[in-house]
Amino acid sequence: GDSVTQMEGPVTLSEEAFLTINCTYTATGYPSLFWYVQYPGEGLQLLLKATKADDKGSNKGFEATYRKETTSFHLEKGSVQVSDSAVYFCALPFSGGYNKLIFGAGTRLAVHP
């Protein structure tokens, strides 16, 4: 069945370090893929998305490329800031419809000055 696997956190980085959060998926066909971000005490915000294979989603300096060969959608940022500290969720649509999403377990990122 459909599933999303994210790297376990927490990920702890110093400011200006390079970030990678791994996400792999199992799905039927080539669904859209999403990254959501949750800042402390808030709801989730859509960070970026890719709707087809080889698409690159980008927003706020974050990027992720839809790799169908490796069924991956890794999140990257070249230089993280303290304000990027949050929990990041990878997600894909449930193949059974109703626009339900399947979320990964989330990866907590802590960036220190």
Shortest Cβ 39–another protein spacing (Å): 11
Select the residue interacting with another protein from 22, 32, 65, 72 (CB under 8 A).
32
Rg (CA), the chain: 14
Picking from 57, 35, 33, the residue whose alpha carbon sits closest to that of residue 44 is: 35
Indicate whether 62 belongs to the interface with another protein (CB under 8 A): no
Picking from 72, 71, 81, 65, the residue whose alpha carbon sits closest to that of residue 19 is: 81
Select the residue interacting with another protein from 43, 69, 70, 113 (CB under 8 A).
43
Select the residue interacting with another protein from 24, 49, 58, 67 (CB under 8 A).
49
Indicate whether 103 belongs to the interface with another protein (CB under 8 A): yes
Measured from the CB atom, is 13 or 37 closer to another protein? 37
Distance CA 62, CA 71 (A): 19
Positions touching another protein (CB under 8 A) are 31-32, 34, 36, 41-46, 49, 89, 93, 98-101, 103-106
